[in-house]
Amino acid sequence: MGSNRAVQMRQPAYIQGNTVPKEIPVRKSPKQQLNHVYKIRRNQEKALQIDLPYLLVLVIAACCTLYLCINYLQVQSSITARIHTIESMEQELEALKSENDSLATRINTYIDLDHVYQVATQELGMVYANKDQVLLYNKTESEYVRQYEDIPRH
């Protein structure tokens, strides 16, 4: 009878009827339950043990991740430093432009054209050219005039 009972425990029992068959849980003997618990514990212990190849792969992956993180932080800090440098250079450029504009304004206001005219005409004896002394000509060959080139005659 004991062997029949063991056979019944191994095979699931079904209830026949007009509904969907349901599996009736079969109770295991205490010895089988204890073996099952031991198997579970052995599997858990195996899962918790780390063998050497797995440990090496894990260490290499951790080192690569750490290297990438440090590289990322260095690149980020260099970008930030360059942005600050660009901002300071832009501020310096604006300061130089405003100084240049103020100097140009001072130079333009410093030159008094009336004073230049008076010195040229009174002290240096210069006079304006007459209309018959001014010659106009078109030079189509180039955009600039050479100093020692012959002037065409009319």
Mean of per-residue pLDDT scores for the chain: 80
**Among 102-106, 108-112, 149-153, where is mean pLDDT lowest?**
149-153
Q: What is the mean pLDDT of residues 51-78?
A: 94
Amino acid, single-letter form, for residue 38:
Y
Q: Does the pLDDT value for residue 42 go beyond 70?
A: yes
- 26 within 8 A of 8, measured Cβ to Cβ: yes
> 120 or 18: whose pLDDT is higher?
120
How far CA 92 is from CA of 18, 21, 23, 120, 122, in Å, comes to 92, 87, 85, 41, 46
What share of the chain in percent tops pLDDT 90?
33
- 135 within 8 A of 151, measured Cβ to Cβ: yes
pLDDT tier at 1, thresholds 50, 70, 90: very low
Highest mean pLDDT among 52-56, 57-61, 129-133: 57-61
- 29 within 8 A of 9, measured Cβ to Cβ: yes
Round to whole Å and give the CA distance between 29 and 6.
9
CA dihedral 22, 27, 33, 39 (to 10 degrees): -20
DSSP 151: P
pLDDT digits (tens, 9 = 90+) for 28-38: 777 777 788 88
**Among 44-53, 54-63, 72-81, where is mean pLDDT lowest?**
44-53
**Among 49-58, 87-96, 97-106, where is mean pLDDT lowest?**
49-58
- 15 within 8 A of 24, measured Cβ to Cβ: yes
HSE-up of residue 33 (Cα within 13 Å, Cβ side): 5
pLDDT tier at 153, thresholds 50, 70, 90: low
- 137 within 8 A of 152, measured Cβ to Cβ: yes
